[in-house]
Structure 1
Amino acid sequence: MVRTPHGAVRGRYERGVAVFRGIPYAAPPVGPRRFRPPEPPEPWDGVREAARFGPTAPKPSYSEAFAQYLCDPAIPGDDCLNLNVWTPEPAPGARLPVLVWLHGGALTRGSSAVPVYDGRTFARDGVVCVSVNYRLGIEGYGLFPDAPPNPGLRDQLAALRWVHETIEVFGGDPDRITLGGQSAGAISAGVLLASPHTDGLIRRAVLQSGPPEVSERDKVRRMVRRMATRLKIPATAAAFAAVDRELLLRTQAEVGRLSSPVLGGPAFGIVVDGDLVPRDPLRALVDGDTAQGVDLLMGWTRDEYRLWLVPGGLLEHIDRLGAVAVAGAMARCHAGHEIPRGYRALRPDAGAAEIVGQMVTDHILRVPLHRLADARPATSHLYEFAWPSLRPGLGACHALELGFVFDSGDIPESQKLAGEGAPHGLCDEMHGAWVRFASTGDPGWESWNPTHPVRVFGDGAAYTAHGPRDAEYALWSVNPRTPPSRPASVPRAPGAELASAMRRLRRSVGARRR
């Protein structure tokens, strides 16, 4: 039993580790609290049982194409602003390092109950692990004239503050908190890192396949307006709050089905709000305005795009589209013709899908992380996950590394993406590096420097490569000290030809998905 500021909780021991599940860090976001910033939970009397995961945030289920690879449990209930704690020593005074984990899922799916994120392995190795639920989709990231923006991000901040104020009674050290996440969770962690509201809360950060970024407000508004049009309601928080939640989720899934990292399009995202997010977070971190001295562990998978394109056969479809798909990617990346020509020269045998996928991945993910490392070399460590899945066609795709980071590769939920027989040695290497980083700030290889060291986790023993992506970076003409919003050599807006190609690509992919 542990006493938190709002009441006592009783966890349970599982294989030598104490785990507390479903602890509320904020009040249920229902009624007048819906679409509003989080409020503290009501204190409770007696002892609250914390044996089971708490409710997950409302979300649509994955499509059949993605559900064969990804697991996303849905637990009903209103009290979805909860977290879980795994600790080897639930008592004050242990002062163990802490990892706070934010799940991915494009800010529309995912939860802390995904079995791959089992924090037992971190606690087994001396790190207190905390995983967090936060509001998703329209309720977490809708943009309305009658409600504050970014409530889902504010949920994460509330959880981080709860950890800082409470984790000592679970054996954690509030001065050694590592905030980590993958995909949308990494984007969120990077944005929080850049926020003035987190000063003193974060000692280290792990950004897996997601850079600090914000969305254009109009892009989020278009998502809200399209949902409002289908629902025949005003695009206000009050109107959305009156809609049946299941209908809301179905509408959200239908409106967002053509949005993806490759295709772009209207989608939910974090926006600059003048408060929690006062400016572009990547620029703030590169300029050194915030998070000075915070250690960074950042990286990507070799074939991120394959999770976005392989389900449903989109990879083969884009290969057939050929030049139209490449032109669409140019529009997506605001790129001139020299960019795809450069990728073609580096990959003369690649099909259109690989050119498109790697180009978009570099534009939205690798180049920003490279830029951030250039600005903070002494405290940055970079990695690439290059082991290919045993499932056909996936390669080293987006999210594949999670089972290795959490050393949960043997469970069925990890095998949905990795296949059966993932190498245990690779689990040991990656998980051990993350444990070392959370504990000391040094994952076990040299920090960023002019030789651009990247730790490669693939077949065989991990090794350090120097400048493995430098040829691609050079194509974008990025100046890390004054990062442009798009490559400096490219006009501000794509031409009519590229915009037309993007529209044709969307229509073609939309027809394929139907």
Structure 2
Amino acid sequence: MTNRRKFLSQLSLATAGVSFLPSYLQASSTIFSGASLVEEFVSAETTYGKIKGFRTEGVNIFKGIPYAGRISGDRRFRRPAPLEPWTGVKDTLTLGAPAIQAPRRNEPAPSEDCLFLNVWTPANDNKKRPVMFYNHGGGFVIGSGGSASQDGANLARNFDVVVVETNHRLGLMGFLYLEQLAGADYEGSGNNGMLDIVDGLKWVHDNIAQFGGDPNNVMIWGESGGGAKTSCLYAMPSAAPYFNKASIESGPGVRMMDKETAHENTLQLLKEFNISTQDWKKLLDIPAADLLAMQAKLPLVPPFQEKNKASAAGLMRRNAGAFGPVVDGKALPYHPFDPTAPAISKNKPLLVGWNEDEYTFFAWERKDTESFKMDFEALANKLEPQYKKDTAKLIDTYRKANPSATAPDIFVAISSITMMGLGSVEIAEKKVKQNGAPVYLYNFGYKSEVKIPGTDYAMGTPHAMDISFKFNNESANKASFFGGNRPEKAQASHYFAELWTNFAKTGKPFAKDAPEWKAYNLKDRPTMRIDSKLEVIHDRFKQELSVWRELGKLS
């Protein structure tokens, strides 16, 4: 049980193994590349000074707004220096630097000083629109608030909301736990990346009214690593005053790293650099590129340890080598959803769910073609090292629940639900037991016809495909990287965005001409399946979840 929980909750840490993403996820939209795209320049007052953005196609866009101060030099691994006010008007027309990582297409060079945010709004008026504050994915090691698939213009334009996205520290720059070595100045160092996001939320609270947003109606949401970030924020006292609803998408953060493991990881880093604990400050002088290179050499958490099955269980227990949020008793007092849903957010509505075919993304990323050639004997051989004597029971249950499924179908189903589904259900059930605000469970199920390279197997609904859909960035007449060519994807995208923006507005997800999506409960367990048609399914995956409970993989 403990191993399973740690695996599920640390899944967003595991996405550190995603070394690259498709261009549509990485590349920034070229929103400002010349006057031809700008209808007019617009300005806004902030608490630090006046900024200039631009208006295009009914949306005001501000890119690269600084929300906190310097984090380089003597501020490395510390809270930011105070942001200095400026005189005159600061241009916020292009993206700010992303956090230290490999270069990102169509974005500035990564930099230690990366605390910038982007705002999309229908107008800088006094209208109190709901604010949708998005946490980007990429585990805790890559990504930015400027990826093309999560461009916020369509949400702002089509649904009358304000969208905000931040860059924040990632990897060991954002999560190196130094408290046991470095003292009071480095308190919270194991959660700097999360505390940066809190600073972004504070900026929203203080400034978003100038952008037509309501500082008292803020939704936090995020996918994959962004879902895990949202899970953490849901449990962080410093974040609590600045949002009132949340959505955790394909990244259930049930548990995070404990202090002991985080300290071990710090010692391992020092050892790799041949630095004694007394000389830990030498880390401040190492070029960021060298730190990034060392981060890539350190071991990763599952599921990216498959080549060494014997060590996987131990890594699940220790989370060795990973950098992510730390349950330090202060910034993150407890695990987000273990043993219970966080009391601090008892009265904040929650959305949680996952994509039906999460694993196909990882098959694509790892160039896994063999999994789609299996027969049922090969399937049993593939699952046996992990599930041992329970393998036959597991396969038998899935075959009875899905009579027409092939061996690859069942492998994808098992892999997808263990990656993202069980943790999502656990979060929903713990939220229900809290007897507070409602929680709504969903599955995204629109099926892409795009094939996994080297196979005849369709991607279906892979991990990360939901991003462009929920941002209403899929169209009927334009193909997308994962979404494919079928025109129905535009309707699925509209429904996804409509449900989420109505949740942002009211705390209840609904869409026109759609069945009522009732709050999750432990009696009939309503789950919304999102596709080109919306369907509420009661007690979905009943047989499959029953066997996971029986095997002790779901509490």
| 2:328 match: secondary structure | coil
Give the corresponding residue for 1:452: 525
Distance 1:193 1:261, change over 3 A: farther
Q: In the alignment, is residue 341 of structure 1 matched against residue 393 of structure 2? A: yes
Match of 1:270 in 2: 325
| Deviation sequence 1:7-56 (CA, Å, 0-9, x none) | 11111101111111111111121011111123431111111111111111
1:28 alignment partner, SS class: coil
What is the rounded CA distance, in whole Å, between the counterparts of 1:123 and 1:87 in structure 2?
A: 5
Query: Helix, strand or coil for the counterpart of 2:345?
Result: coil
Q: CA deviation at 1:413?
A: 12
Residue 491 (structure 1) aligns with: none
Equivalent residue number for residue 242 of structure 1: 285
Indicate the residue corresponding to 1:115 in structure 2: 148
Alignment match, 1:15 = 57
Q: Aligned pair 1:350/2:407, yes or no?
A: yes
Partner of 1:500: none
CA deviations 1:326-375 (Å, max 9, x no partner) are 24434xxxxx7447623442236434843651453257633323323433
Tell me the secondary structure at the aligned position of residue 131 of structure 1. Answer: strand
2:494 pairs, out of 407, 419, 428, with 428
Change (3 A) 1:434 1:142: same
1:108: Cα distance to partner? Answer: 0.3
SS of the counterpart of 2:451?
Answer: coil
Moved more, 367-376 or 264-273: 367-376
Which shows bigger deviation, 292-301 or 190-199? 190-199
Q: Hey, what does 2:345 align to over in structure 1?
A: 291
Matched, 1:150 2:194: no
Distance 1:39 1:401, change over 3 A: same
User: Is the CA contact (8 Å cut-off) linking 2:97 and 2:110 kept in structure 1?
Assistant: yes
Distance 1:418 1:150 in 2: 34
| Residues 103, 262 of structure 1: alpha-carbon distance in 2 compared, 3 angstrom cutoff | farther
Equivalent-residue separation in structure 1 for 2:446 and 2:500 (angstroms): 17
C-alpha distance in structure 1 between counterparts of 2:411 and 2:161, whole Å: 40
**How far off is 1:381 after superposition?**
1.4
Change (3 A) 1:425 1:227: same
Partner of 1:141: 175
Instruction: Report the more deviating stretch, 348-357 or 264-273.
Output: 348-357
Distance 1:464 1:405, change over 3 A: same
Provide the rounded CA distance (Å) in 1 between the counterparts of 2:98 and 2:362. Answer: 24
Match of 2:447 in 1: 388
**Root-mean-square deviation over aligned CA pairs:** 3.1
CA contact (8 A) 2:132 2:164 kept: yes
Which AA in structure 2 matches 1:374? V
- Percent of aligned pairs with the same amino acid: 27
Deviation at 1:261, TM superposition (A): 6.4
Native 8 Å contact 1:194 1:285 kept in 2: no
Q: Is the Cα contact below 8 Å between 2:356 and 2:461 reproduced in 1? A: yes
Q: State TM-score, norm by structure 2.
A: 0.76
Q: Does 1:163 align with 2:163?
A: no
Q: State the match for 1:368 in structure 2.
A: 426
Contact kept, 8 Å, 1:85 with 1:128, in 2: the verdict is yes
Residue 111 of structure 1 deviates from its aligned partner by 0.2
Query: How far apart, CA to CA, are the structure 2 residues paired with 1:165 and 1:19?
Result: 18
> Take 2:333 and 2:394, find their aligned partners in 1: how far apart are those partners?
36
Q: CA deviation at 1:60?
A: 3.1
- Do the aligned partners of residues 357 and 226 (structure 1) sit closer, same or farther apart at CA in structure 2, a change above 3 Å counting? farther
Aligned residue number for residue 66 of structure 1: none
Report the CA distance shift for 1:89/1:427 in structure 2 as closer, same or farther (over 3 A): same
Post-superposition Cα deviations, 1:212-261, rounded to whole Å, max 9, x if no partner, equal 33124455455545544443334776233322222222222233467546
| Residue 95 of structure 2: aligned partner | 53
Rounded Cα–Cα distance in structure 2 between residues aligned with 1:300 and 1:61? 29
Equivalent-residue separation in structure 2 for 1:310 and 1:137 (angstroms)? 24
Per the TM alignment, residue 448 of structure 1 is displaced from its structure 2 partner at its CA by 1.3
> Which ranges of 4 or more aligned residues in structure 1 deviate by more than 6 Å?
318-321, 411-414
Distance in 1, Cα, partners of 2:499 & 2:82: 35
CA shift in 2, pair 1:257/1:409, >3 Å: farther
Unaligned stretches of 5+ in structure 2?
1-42, 307-311, 401-405, 453-458, 511-516
Q: 8 Å contact 1:35–1:140 — kept in the other structure?
A: yes
- State the SS of the aligned residue for 2:326: coil
Consecutive unaligned residues in structure 1, runs of 5 or more: 63-70, 331-335, 479-483, 489-514
- Distance 1:166-1:374 versus aligned 2 partners, 3 A rule: same
In structure 2, the CA distance between the partners of 1:161 and 1:48, relative to structure 1 (3 Å rule), is same
Quick one: which of 545, 548, 554 aligns to 1:473? 545
State the Cα distance separating 1:293 from its structure 2 match.
1.8
Cα gap change, 1:154 to 1:322, in 2 (>3 Å): same
